[in-house]
Amino acid sequence: MRSMGVAGAGKSRAVKREITVRVDGIPRRLSIDTRMTLLDALRERLGVTSPKKGCDHGQCGACTVLSGGRRVLSCLTLAVTQDGAEVVTAEGLTAEAATPDGRHAGRDLHPVQRAFIDCDALQCGYCTPGQVVSAVGALDEFEKGWPSAVTKGLGAPRLDRAEVAERMSGNLCRCAAYVNIVTAVQQAAGAAAAQRTAETEVAG
Amino acid sequence: MTFPSEPDAVGRDLPRRDGAAKVLGTATYAYETPLANAAYLHAVQATIARGRVTELDTTAAEALDGVVAVLTPSSAERLASTEDRELAVLQDEEVAFRGQVVALVVADSSEVARHAAALVRVSYAQVAHDAELRADREDLYAPETVNPGLPTDTAEGDVDAAMAAAEVTVEETYTTAMYHNNPMEPHATTALWDPAGDGFLTLWDSTQGVHATRAAMASVFGLDEARVRVVCPYVGGGFGSKGQPHVNVVLAALAARAVPGRPVRLALTRQQMFSLAGYRTPTIQRCRLGADRDGTLTALAIDVVEQTSRIKEFAEQTGVPARMMYASPNRRTTHRLAALDVPVPSWMRAPGECPGMFGPEVAMDELAECLGIDPIELRIRNEPRVEPGSGKPFSTRNLVGCLREGAVRFGWSERDPRPGARRRGDWLVGTGVATSTYPVARMPKSTATIRREGDRYVAEIGAADLGTGTWTTLPQIAADALGVPVDSVDVRIGDTDYPMASVAGGSSGMTTWGSAVVEAARAFRTKYGTAPLDGDEASGTVGPPDDRYAMHAFGAQFAEAHVHRDTGEVRVPRLLGVFATGRIINPRTARSQFIGGMTMGLSMALHEKSVLDPRTGHVVNHDFAEYHITANADVDEIEAHWLPEHDPHANAMGSKGIGEIGIVGTAAAVSNAVWHACGVRVRDLPITLDKVLHALEAQSER
Ligand code: FES
Ligand code: FES
């Protein structure tokens, strides 16, 4: 075998852009290759490794983050499109768990995270941050009354097994914690509903 | 002291100790190890299945801004050992399978590394390849042994004569597909070569065994083991594919040694994992059963044909469970391999038992059908009193208990045995049963150290937690062995700086590491009594297994299948498993293991199949869009239960391994349920609608 050069091969240069993204509440400024995904920018440039790479093709959900409050696959999102965006990873959900007066500030877990631990909705943990963020996004969509493929009729959907499973099916889990994930999401939704009722009563 | 007969911490439903780190995403996996100034590696793969690389043009790749190094067979260092040809990467120009690594690129960013890898131009001298597994190949051969060193063939009595004389026989061929482990965390390694002195290699590798990986890498690179450290606190799933190092570890280390002092990160892409990270061979199983009218087996045979790669042999022990599951005076099991130009097969959850309990367990259902005997009753009638073959007594064998308990929980007694007799709306409904088994394995070597640190006890052992729960369950064992509250015990695992631990494989982890921890606790108490001082420490080592007994775990799995009468779509709304696996260390993590295994079994039954195109040697469906694994909406009710069992011969804890048995038998239970629903025997996995549709059409014409 011999190695051989191509005559006149020139330097090819990546296109760079400066962007600022708020990640888990902290503004982060960085210069990126425009081909870089949000997932790679988070993991490889910012050292934010809570979102995971399972496929890099939008097929597994391990990379799920919230952007502008909605769940997105960060491996299918170019970082350059996120200039000025508010990105939240599973690690940053703890801040959301804090009440406005800061009583639960610190490492308090989000109710979804607590429910995942309670229900053993994880094993190896690699899909877990994506599952957790996806569940937070899914519950918000459900709250807003968005239907899913299995929602029957036009009334408000009920959060039964089939609804949760459908809404969480963008997140694969090879350890197959699915049964417990569904229970955890329902438990977290129940806790959130109870919390709201209590707040209404206090306010009322 | 030994282990308390009435343990306190063992058996408690404790949450995972690593739960918070995992729900936050702060648990650090191999690729994520925080290290400054890391470089990124991307591999270039062969696009032919057999031949030679004749030319590698790296000019354009090297010209790219940010490229640090390009390694080819002519520029990569010579490895000290090339004995394991799967690991002997970039050592010559031979291509032995499609997807083999022929060059690698190291760059400042993963984007540039990937771009540069695409610019490497490779020319080949292609040779005709052969990548097609068929049972009628003339070059099938008998391997010396089958994994993990078991006899290739066994024979007792005269199967042919018994089949000829039998009142009822079943003789069918069953097949299982090629499967890829597909842990969610890709195979990943971060490597750092510190050139100071004689040099030191650190590998943060996603592995089921840090010590096994260190031993392999020390040998490949000709380094003293003292100059290699492997670290792996968390594994994002492995299911066997991270049980032995694959080429990613060697690539990362090669690259790191080419850029001394700079960490190099490598994660295989999902697509690359289909050629570089092992898989389960497809199997062709010819099964024969002969029985009396009352259902007593007189003959039992399984002849297995499967594949291996031309460069490295792996012989899946598919025929092995048929050697001990049921009594039969005449028995024969054989394994024959085709050595093909394909990627190297390896371990995948319950190698042997998983595929090997498909054919025989569907065959048992077919025999029950022929005899008009309930399939549970048929199995009970063939329960052996001692282990067939060896003649050894079973340490514990509660298969019948699992079948009976499962029958009650599942509501089996109301079952009408006729196939195709129940309908719910547009769905044909059926139920099926199959059994599970897995051997109790104990690895020969593992050591644990227990130390007093302040007011706490710390157990150290280089064990692994692949989601199995080791972080949580080892402290439970240590606490009981020391006679202290579980809250006062910490463990440290996943690092070759801790005492040597065996690989997490063959469901041997708890038996092996747990036994070492119990021994260490015993030594600690003997030396220091109950009032140890800060810094006191003692070690213990796993002892040999009790060879007087045959030790296996057992289970029974029940499935409900729905087949759509128009489309043939198959759904499984209910799976129920009952297991007898010794003492359960932690019911919460145990249940997750069982359910996880059963769900993977469901995935095998309905969805999974790697499609290898023999014309190219390429797995064409090499991603999650086309290699479908069970998603949340594919699952409905899945329940796992277990019988109270304590196996005094298995280990000090009385436990048996549980990581693999859950996947064993599921696919057979589903196939049996599908037959009961619609009357079609699906003997070839996966059970897709095209395999039942023809019969549904025929039925509707009637
Ligand atoms: S990594 Fe983004 S969906 Fe898989
Ligand atoms: S917990 Fe392992 S992949 Fe989901």
Query: What is the band of B1 on the pLDDT scale with cuts at 50, 70, 90?
Result: very low
How large is the ipTM? 0.97
- As its CATH architecture, domain B145-179+280-440+549-701 has 2-Layer Sandwich (3.30)
CATH of B33-128+183-269, one of 1.10.3470.10, 3.40.50.2000, 3.40.190.10, 3.30.365.10: 3.30.365.10
Note the pLDDT tens digit of each residue in A88-123.
999 999 965 445 554 444 468 999 999 999 999 999
pTM for the full predicted model: 0.96
Query: What is the band of B696 on the pLDDT scale with cuts at 50, 70, 90?
Result: confident
Note the pLDDT tens digit of each residue in B637-657.
999 999 999 999 999 999 999
B661 shares contact with chain A (CB less than 8 Å): no
- When the pLDDT of each residue in chain A is averaged and rounded to a whole number, the result is 88
- When the pLDDT of each residue in chain B is averaged and rounded to a whole number, the result is 97
| Contact criterion met (CB below 8 Å) for B246 and B213 | no
| Contact criterion met (CB below 8 Å) for A151 and A145 | no
Contacting B residues, span 448-487, partner chain A, CB-CB under 8 Å: 466-469
What's the CA gap between B327 and B379, in Å, rounded?
10
CA B38 to chain centre: 32
A181 lines ligand 2 (CB under 6 A): no
What's the CA gap between B503 and B215, in Å, rounded?
12
Q: Beta strand B427-439 with B552-564: parallel, antiparallel or unpaired?
A: antiparallel
Helices (H) and strands (E) in chain B, counts: 17, 28
The owner of tokens 């089949």 is B163
Task: Tell which one of B184, B466, B589 to mutate to probe ligand 2, the residue whose CB is within 8 A of the most ligand atoms.
Answer: B184
User: pLDDT at residue A204 above 70?
Assistant: no
Among A140, A32, A135, smallest CA distance to A82 is for A32
User: pLDDT at residue A2 above 60?
Assistant: no
The owner of tokens 């790697």 is B610
| Structural domains of chain A, with CATH | 16-91 (3.10.20.30), 109-203 (1.10.150.120)
Q: B19-28+443-541, which class in CATH?
A: alpha beta
What's the CA gap between B471 and B234, in Å, rounded?
10
Q: What is the chain A residue with the closest CA to B600?
A: A176
Local structure of A26: helix, strand or coil: strand
Instruction: Tell me what pLDDT residue B460 has.
Output: 98
User: pLDDT at residue A4 above 50?
Assistant: no
Pick from A14-18, A21-25, B10-14: least confident: A14-18
Note the pLDDT tens digit of each residue in B232-289.
999 999 999 999 999 999 999 999 999 999 999 999 999 999 999 999 999 999 999 9
Task: Tell which one of A36, A59, A174 to mutate to probe ligand 1, the residue whose CB is within 8 A of the most ligand atoms.
Answer: A59
Note the pLDDT tens digit of each residue in B549-605.
999 999 999 999 999 999 999 999 999 999 999 999 999 999 999 999 999 999 999
A140 shares contact with chain B (CB less than 8 Å): no
Q: Beta strand B188-194 with B200-205: parallel, antiparallel or unpaired?
A: antiparallel
Query: What is the band of B41 on the pLDDT scale with cuts at 50, 70, 90?
Result: very high
Name the percent of chain B lying above pLDDT 90: 98
Among B101, B102, B105, smallest CA distance to B62 is for B105
Task: For A67-126, give the DSSP string.
Answer: ETTEEEEGGGSBGGGGTT-EEE-GGGHHHHHS-TT-TTTTTPPPHHHHHHHHTT--SS-S
Q: Which atom of ligand 1 is nearest to the CA of B270?
A: 4
Pick from A156-160, B111-115, B651-655: least confident: A156-160
Note the pLDDT tens digit of each residue in B616-626.
999 999 999 99
Query: Average pLDDT of B38-56?
Result: 98
Domain limits, CATH 3.30.365.10, in chain B: 19-28+443-541, 33-128+183-269, 145-179+280-440+549-701
Query: What is the band of A202 on the pLDDT scale with cuts at 50, 70, 90?
Result: low
Note the pLDDT tens digit of each residue in B522-539.
999 999 999 999 999 999
